[in-house]
Every structure is written in structure tokens, then in C-alpha cells.
A and B are shown apart, each in its own frame.
Chain A
């Protein structure tokens, strides 16, 4: 491999394209809503993880702990915001 194209990043790019194609199956194949959303959740979070680890070098220095703690914190707040909003505004509860 040419020194300008490290294998790790080339593979990361190939995997991200494959994940995009898998996500597209939701559009091209006829499937139930639940199955489609499950596929999208898996491909989207795998893609995001790939970007963080392969391309953003999140874990390469001694600040790894602080960086991951911050990302997980942001992620938890994001999920609580989204699902909390859905619970209040759409789903409701008895």
C-alpha cells in the first residue's frame, strides 16, 4: 500500500460504503417498519463508531478517557432528549 493511503483508513472507507449500501436495502427492498428501523439503527451507529475510532483517532492519546467520557455523555443526553421527547409528545403512557 502506498504510504499516503494507510490500509486502516482505506478499509474504514470501504466499510463505510458497504454500510451505506446495507442501509439502502431499506429503500430498495420491501420490509416491515420495525425491521427497517433496526437495520438503520445498526448501520448508523456502526458508521458513527467507525468515524470516531478510525478517522477521528479518538483513542490515540492519554486524553482518551476524557474524550470517550465526553462523547458517551453527549450520546446519553442525546438519547434521553430524543426518546424523552418521543415519550412525552408521541407515545404517551398509561
Chain B
């Protein structure tokens, strides 16, 4: 394996570089996945039937907490990657741990929010609007849940083996995934919640 020391560790082999480009292509496909959900949401948003509309059930407080928590976690994982690049292993793992804790906090608030929706009679089968709302939010939430387990595995692996070109690459790719989830949330925050409460 040829290791190029002029670039950060996560890019240092041919395979690593290709994996990063490959993950960007996956993220391109993810953009399209969420686009189909948004297209369906905008189509069905008025179809509330006898159920509640967005303005009846949305509450700014949990939404704001989720937004700040996810934005902060996106910042801390960026710092984690920076720490990895300057070789500060403990700082990197700490930033990753903070990121995952914030991710878990986000999920906690989102689960609370879902229970609240069901409690006020906005379940998955209430109306076309609640169905697409919960599907869109749920798809994002499922991505965060998956990311949480993925991140834990990476932290575990780095603790066990130290920083290698392989797990530096995994960490960087995981950071791309996490930032992407934040990007999707910004659109959910703007065009589902704020638009719905406007």
C-alpha cells in the first residue's frame, strides 16, 4: 500500500481517495431521495382531511432545540476532523463523543415530538399530510439513528487500533454523512416547520 504523506491521512491511499469520491456520489443520491420526500410533502401539505394542519401541531420550542443541537453537532464533528488532521487523537475522540451525545439529544427531542404528535391525534394514518410529514421526518430521524451507531463503531475502532489510514478515512466519510444530515435538517426546519408556522 502506497501512503502519500503530503495529504491528510484520510486521503493517503488511492483507495481512500476513491472511497471519499464514492461517498459523495452516494450523498448525491441521498439529495434525490429527500427531494422526492419534499416533493410529496409539498403536494400533500394541504390534504389534512379531518386531521390537524401543520400550524395546529407544530411547536417552535422543540424544533428550535433540535436545530441548535444538530447545528452544534455539525460544528463539533468538523472540529473532530480538524483535530484528527493535526494528530490530536484524544481531542478528536472527545469531539466525536460530543457530536454523538448531541445526536442522541436530537433524537430524544424528536422522539418526544413524535409522541406529542400521536398524542394530539396526528398519527401516521390520520391524513395524507400527517403521513408524509411523519415519513419525511422519520426518514431523516432514521438516518440520524443509523449515524449514531455508525459513529459509535468508529470511535470504538479508533480507541482499539489508534489512527490508521483506514479508520481516518472512515471518520472523514462519517463526518460527511453527519454534515449532510444537518443540511437536510436545515431544509426540514425551513420548508416544513417555519413555512408551516408562518
Contacts and interface: CB of A to CB of B under 8 A. Distances in A.
20 contacts: A6-B79, A9-B78, A23-B194, A26-B194, A26-B198, A27-B194, A27-B197, A37-B195, A40-B190, A54-B78, A55-B75, A55-B78, A58-B24, A66-B24, A67-B21, A70-B24, A74-B31, A75-B31, A77-B32, A86-B43
Given A61-B7, A74-B29, A78-B34, A48 B75 contact: no
Given A81-B36, A85-B39, A43 B190 contact: yes
Interface in A42-94: 43-44, 47-48, 51-52, 54-56, 58, 61, 63, 66-67, 70-71, 73-75, 77-79, 81-82, 84-86, 89-90
A16 B71 contact: yes
A4 B194 contact: no
B179 to A, nearest CB: 5
Interface of A: 3-6, 9, 12-13, 16-17, 20, 23-24, 26-27, 31, 33, 36-37, 40-41, 43-44, 47-48, 51-52, 54-56, 58, 61, 63, 66-67, 70-71, 73-75, 77-79, 81-82, 84-86, 89-90
Given A23-B189, A51-B186, A74-B28, 4 more contacts: A20-B68, A43-B190, A71-B27, A77-B31
B60 interface: yes
A44 B74 contact: no
Contacts of B179: 51-52, 55-56
B28 A55 contact: no
A4 B24 CA distance: 26
A40 B35 contact: no
B82 interface: yes
A63 B29 CA distance: 18
B76 to A, nearest CB: 9
B32 A17 contact: no
Contacts of A55: 74-75, 78, 175, 179
Where chain B touches its partner, the secondary structure class is: helix
Nearest to A16: B71
B183 A36 contact: no
B91 interface: yes
B79 A9 contact: yes
Contacts of B67: 20
A66 B97 CA distance: 32
B39 A81 contact: yes
Contact of B28 (A6, A56, A71, A86): A71
